[in-house]
Amino acid sequence: MTLTSFFQQIKAGEVSSVELVEASLDKIAERDPACNAFITVAAKEARQAAVKLDKEAEKKNFKGQLHGIPIAIKDMINTHGIRTTMGSKVYENHYPEMNAEVVNRLEEAGAVIIGKTNTHEFAYGPTGDRSFFGTCHNPYNPQKITGGSSSGSGAAVGAGMVAGAIGTDTGGSVRIPASACGVVGMKPTFGLVSKVGAFPLAYTLDHIGPMTNTIRDNALLLNVMAGYDFKDPHSVQRDVQDYSERISKDVSGLKIGIPDWYFERIEEEVSDAVESCIKLYEQIGIQVKRVNMPVMRDIATAQIVTIQAEATAVHQETMQNHKDELDREVYDRLIASQSVRGYEYVQSQIKRSSLIKEYNLVFNEVDALLTPTLPILPTDIGQREVRIGTETESVRSALLRLTSPTNYTGNPSLSLPCGLSESGLPIGVQLIGKHWSEGLLYQLGYALEQAIGFTERVNKYNN
């Protein structure tokens, strides 16, 4: 189940897009009842697109490296003529008249949109178990959360229904379900991928990112998605890169930092898995350095203020006209978000550039940071408190704690699987780099993926 192998097979005439689409639809029919990863399966549209793409393939006309391959899209991202709900009753029958820019780019590369994946309502929650269309269930254990808010995208890839999916990430919403569902998820540098046509949660924190089975596939998707868009006020104009270019290159001599703040209050199994990654890196010639980052607490506070203030602004009309249609927990969080005062938000933005500069000082010492993606294993659906050592923490706080800082700073952050717990639940490790260093993170991630053996792995759903 890799995008790379699918394209090679299509190009060689060994498989057709119609066959890939039918295989994906079969797996969705078989596995989605247990996961509830999809809100809308676009079977008719996907079949029609596949037929057209196969006719082009017969003429050796390939649109791009996703030619004929099914891709799933989080239901926060507009798809022309395909229902886009934001996981909410408010948009239960919403059919966009235009694609989001990222969907245009995927289709220009030949992707077939197979359906829209479940999301925590309005993406305002990291658990993934609050959607008008029902709870999303972890493919490794249906009693556990997938993580959110890109819950369905993580579950769809993790359960082998698709080889690639797109999510959004405001406080960790690509990386959290990637870790919980045993897949690879990238939150790129802020401004690298256009957000035009994606429903906002927080204007200056939102990112769109790819979710896949492998590092190489993830880079392939980012290559398609990335690029300047004048319609997005946050888009940054830069030269287009090949984010897979550094994959397979020697990593010996590179330096990885182990930041103290990210290792506070971590479950033992998570800590052990990440420590194993550190040892693997050392064995392949990477230098490891423990680093101190005193700025983290200020960044964490500023991120919370920012998301609450901006979510309040986004949902003024929703709260005025549709409050009775909202999930109670999402409604309560939006009410709580209104408590942020204007001066607090302004202060969080005034000091933002200086906090980002202070965060990035660590990259004068190391090339990238290595952290757990989540400090805990996926919790039970509906569980709202978790005990870590001798301390009790809200599940929401724990899930967001290690991912949300780089939504505020905009640094690229990559989560990849690094093992399973004794109970068989996935554990993820996170690589963080300075701005625009996605290629380096993929290089480091691929080296770890190879050392762990995850390119050879076939989880129980991919048999």
Domains of the chain: 3-452 (3.90.1300.10)
β-sheet with 184-187: strand ranges across: 38-41, 112-117, 70-74, 164-169, 207-212, 184-187, 413-420, 426-432, 368-372, 255-259, 287-291
Confidence of residue 460 (pLDDT cuts 50, 70, 90): very low
Q: Mean of the per-residue pLDDT values for the chain?
A: 97
| Strand partners of residue 399 | none
Instruction: Report how far residue 286's alpha carbon sits from residue 295's, in angstroms, rounded to the nearest whole number.
Output: 26
Residues 153, 118: Cα–Cα separation, whole Å: 7
Beta bridge partners of residue 167, listed in sequence order? 209
End-to-end CA distance of the chain: 10
What is residue 55's predicted lDDT score, i.e. its pLDDT? 98
Q: Is 324 exposed, middle or buried (0-12, 13-18, 19+ CB in 10 A)?
A: exposed
Q: How far apart are CA 44 and CA 172, in angstroms?
A: 33
The three-state secondary structure class of 248 is coil
Query: Annotated catalytic sites, by residue?
Result: 74, 149, 173
At 454, is the pLDDT very low, low, confident or very high (cuts 50, 70, 90)? low
Q: How is residue 324 annotated by DSSP?
A: G
198-245 pLDDT tens trace: 999 999 999 999 999 999 999 999 999 999 999 999 999 998 899 999
pLDDT in tens, 164-203: 999 999 999 999 999 999 999 999 999 999 999 999 999 9
Distance CA 68, CA 24 (A): 12
Q: Is the pTM of this model over 0.85?
A: yes
Pairwise CA distance, residues 283 & 285, whole Å? 6
Closest CA to 65 of 282, 210, 232: 210
Asked if residue 105 has pLDDT above 70, the reply is yes
Residue type, 203: Y
Q: Measured between alpha carbons, how far is 217 from 342 in angstroms, rounded to an integer?
A: 42
